[in-house]
Every structure is written in structure tokens, then in C-alpha cells.
Structure 1
Amino acid sequence: MRILVAEDELDLQEAIAEGLRMEGYAVDTCSNGEEAYELAFVENYDLIILDLNLPQLDGLKVLEKIREENKEIKVLILSARSRVNDKVLGLDMGANDYLTKPFDFEELEARIRNLLRRKFVQENSILSCGEINMDLTKRSVFIGEHELLLTKKEFALLEYFLLHQERVLSQEELVAHVWDQNADSFSGVIRVHIATLRKKLKALLKNDPILTKVGVGYFITKNDGDT
């Protein structure tokens, strides 16, 4: 999943971004409202963490402009403004959640998981496809009774496949949601990660659930098949 962190306190911005990257998220950052607004429409984010006290364009104005164009993207306000009326205003303007500073990173990460889970699978924290079972809360994957050990990027890639089962995903879409803005969709990195993920899945499943539609992209299926 791809997240934008719009925060003008650079130390806090980097701490949040680094913590989320360690959890397997693709993270972009910015430190002013104008850039946050531009990135929200140029890139394909699954969630935006938005500080309210941003220079150039206030966070609430950024939220207002985003909601004029996009009702679906998840927005989590992160702010030192702790008064009830500030929270009510932010939520009424379209924020999906509001967390006040200072905060515990574990709570922030839990709220992010909840928002992303709500977006795709409502209350269910388990994604399944055939014998594949992914626990989004525990960040683990099992094939039957056997745990599948994945790198963070492999986990993020499999998560995106499981959230969009049976739909062909282009290389460009996978890069947009699983990698950050520094990724090069023509570098071959995605093919390498898909190849290693398929190898690990096939070792336990005895078949390859990720299929290729030549010239279009990849998709995951419950049915056995040849690539």
C-alpha cells in the first residue's frame, strides 16, 4: 500500500516515513500544503497522513480540495490541534480519522491498518485466495499450516494481489501502489520481486497462483493454471 505523509516537522516526517517503510508500506513525503495537494492528484495513494499546520496551504484547505475531486481516498489527520471542535471540523470536512500529537507510533500504524482494511475488506483482517491466508494485523502469511516467509516488499506485493483477485494488474499499477515515487517502472525490479514471490508460493502450493497476461500484466487466481 502507498502512503503520502504531509508533515512540515521534518524530524517527525522522517520518523513516520521510516517506521511505515519498516512495516512494508511504500511512502512518499512532503512538507507543505501545495505539494501535498499536487501529489494527491498526480500519484495513486491509498492513504494520506495530513498535518493541519502546513505552510503555503493549510491542511484543512488541502483536505477540502482533495474531497472536491476524490471522495474515496483515505485521509488521516495528524495534528497538534486537540480541541474537540477541531476534530469535529476535520471529520466533517471529510477526514476518515483524526489523531492528535503527541502520539504512539503503534497507534498510528493500527489506525492506518484499520482504514486500509475498511477500504477493501471492511471488518475482515484476513485475506484469502485458495490455500493462501494473509493476516493483515499480524502481517503473516500461511499456506495451509505452513508459514510463508516473505520480505516486506513481497508481502506488500502479495497483499495488493489479494485485494484485487482475478483482476489483471499492469506493471504500472503495481509500481504506483507498492513502490514509492522513486521507483522506475522500466527498471525490471517489479519482475524480479514477482519472480521471487511466485517461486516461494509455488514451493508450498505446488502450482503458481500468479498468472501472466502477456502484454497486459499479472493476476492472482484460486484456479491452477499455466503462465
Structure 2
Amino acid sequence: MADAASFPPATVLVADDDADIRDLIVGQLRQENYRLLAAANLADLRQTLRDEAVDLIVLDLNLPDGDGLSLCRELRAEGSDVQIIMVTARGSAIDRVLGLELGADDYLTKPFEPRELLVRIRNLLRRARNGPAARTGAMRYAHIGPWRVDLVQRRLVAPDDRLVMLSSAEFRLLSRFIDEPNVVLDRETLLPERRATAAFDRSIDLQISRLRHKLSSLPGGEDLILTVRGEGYVLACSVDHS
């Protein structure tokens, strides 16, 4: 695994139509030595993504010319692996789950403490740079039960080469299980970027359920992820890479 110092500064794009909020976030992030970009609407954001290599987007859900949810869906459909933190005034569990299922990596509700945003950005960037694909080098696939997990394209591959796409939330969870097979992982470990509230965040249950449903579409995939009552979840199999 490469040392953090060997990586160039991460590029963070802040997209919010409120200039005061946008400037506040950019100001807070300057101390982290990130390369910072800003956009006031989806048109500017899309142009920036065409012109620049962006590592993470702090994305307001409601922009004057479109919906952040739609942008997430578009980016993931295009195969983009840019990290996305949604920031919105909405706070319901349904909104959180929808954002995560459509491709957001994390979700923060206004008003929020700037320090909390800094921690979440740091965690997501660290995870992206030190995740399964980075650690396995040229090895693209993780083998679990009857499945191959494509660590580059974020999808499941059946023995007959049938493809099953994973949402960003599903891939994030599966990656953490792949990191530590046969180890019981609690909610805080599975959702480190939301450690303070993970114990009460029920959206993870829905994400686990959807991931299990996809894994169980092949014989031998039904019992790959088990619940350990009162403790968490476990990937109950060995993991090989190729």
C-alpha cells in the first residue's frame, strides 16, 4: 500500500448555489491542503468534471438547474468512481437511503458542524486510496462463494459471466467485508464516516438486505453475509484475489 505522502493533494469540488455556504466550506477545507474547486449549479459542475480530475464532490442536493440525485445516478452509470458527499436540508431516512442507493458515498444534513464534514471527507478519500483495488494492485477480482467481485467496475460476475451491478452503497459495504472476511463487523466499522450515528442508522439494514438479495441469486450465495445478533454482520467465506 502506498504511503499517503506519495499521493498528490486530492481535488475536492464544492457544489452549492448558496455563495456563503460554498465559501464557508471552501474556507474550512483550505487548511487540509486539498486542491479546491467550486460550482454554483449543475452546468458548472458538469463542465468542471469534463475539464478536471476530481477526487471528491461535496454536492448540495438541490441546485437551481437540477437535482443532485440525478447527477449521482448519471455519474455511476458512466462508471465514475468519484467520491460524493451529499449535503441537504432534507433529513428523512428515505432521502438518505435514496441518495446512497443512487450513488452517494455519504450524506450530511444541514446544519452541520464544519469539523464533521472535514472528518467525513478525510475518511472517504483515505478509503478510496487504500481500498481493495488499491491493495490488490493488478488483481482485479475478489472471489467470494460462487461470485467474482469486479473491484474496478463495481459489479458481481457470475460463473457464466452474467453481470449484476452494485450500487455505490452496496459496493462500499461489500468492499469492507472483503477486507475482513470471517470477522464480525459492527455498524461503526461498516460506516466509519458516520461513526457517531451508525449505531442508530437503520438505512444500513436496507443496504445489507439488498446486497444479500443480489448475492443469493446464485446457489451458494444465500449465506455469504450473516447477521450476528447484537454484534453486527460477517462475510462467512474465504476471499481469493485474481
Q: Distance in 1 between matches of 2:107 and 2:200?
A: 19
- Gaps of at least 5 residues in structure 1 are 30-34, 48-72, 75-111
Q: Distance in 2 between matches of 1:154 and 1:37?
A: 23
Q: TM-score, normalised by structure 2?
A: 0.48
- Deviation (angstroms), 1:116: 3.3
Q: Distance in 2 between matches of 1:36 and 1:142?
A: 39
8 Å contact from structure 1 (residues 126, 136) kept in 2:
yes
Q: Distance in 1 between matches of 2:122 and 2:214?
A: 28
Pair 10,175 (structure 1): closer, same or farther in 2 beyond 3 Å: same
2:147 aligned residue: 132
1:26 aligned residue: 105
- Deviation (angstroms), 1:125: 1.9
Q: TM-score, normalised by structure 1?
A: 0.51
Pair 198,4 (structure 1): closer, same or farther in 2 beyond 3 Å: farther
Question: Is 2:231 aligned against 1:220?
Answer: no
8 Å contact from structure 2 (residues 224, 235) kept in 1:
yes
Matched residues, percent identical? 23
- Deviation (angstroms), 1:183: 6.9
Could you tell which deviates more after superposition, 146-155 or 165-174? 146-155
Pair 192,155 (structure 1): closer, same or farther in 2 beyond 3 Å: same
8 Å contact from structure 2 (residues 105, 168) kept in 1:
no
2:138 aligned residue: 123
Q: Distance in 2 between matches of 1:165 and 1:123?
A: 21
- Secondary structure of the residue that 1:203 maps to in structure 2? coil
RMSD: 4.1
- Secondary structure of the residue that 2:218 maps to in structure 1? helix
Which residue identity lines up with residue 189 of structure 1 in the other structure?
S
1:102-134, Cα deviation, whole Å (9 max, x unpaired)? xxxxxxxxxx67x53465323312112122211
1:147 aligned residue: 163
- Gaps of at least 5 residues in structure 2 are 1-9, 13-33, 50-55, 60-74, 76-81, 85-99, 109-113
- Secondary structure of the residue that 1:128 maps to in structure 2? strand
Question: Is 2:26 aligned against 1:10?
Answer: no
Pair 46,195 (structure 1): closer, same or farther in 2 beyond 3 Å: same
- Residue 186 of structure 1 is aligned with which of 193, 200, 207? 200
1:1-227 equivalence runs, <5 A:
5=12, 6-11=34-39, 16-17=56-57, 20=82, 21=84, 24=103, 26=105, 39-40=118-119, 45=123, 47=125, 73=126, 116-117=131-132, 119-145=134-160, 146-176=162-192, 185-206=199-220, 207-222=222-237
Q: Distance in 2 between matches of 1:205 and 1:4?
A: 43
- Deviation (angstroms), 1:197: 1.3
Tell me the matched-pair count. 150
Pair 128,24 (structure 1): closer, same or farther in 2 beyond 3 Å: farther
Q: Distance in 1 between matches of 2:124 and 2:165?
A: 25
8 Å contact from structure 2 (residues 132, 175) kept in 1:
no
Q: Distance in 1 between matches of 2:150 and 2:182?
A: 20
Q: Distance in 2 between matches of 1:37 and 1:189?
A: 20
Pair 44,220 (structure 1): closer, same or farther in 2 beyond 3 Å: farther
Which residue identity lines up with residue 168 of structure 2 in the other structure?
K
Q: Distance in 2 between matches of 1:117 and 1:155?
A: 11
1:57-77, Cα deviation, whole Å (9 max, x unpaired)? xxxxxxxxxxxxxxxx57xxx
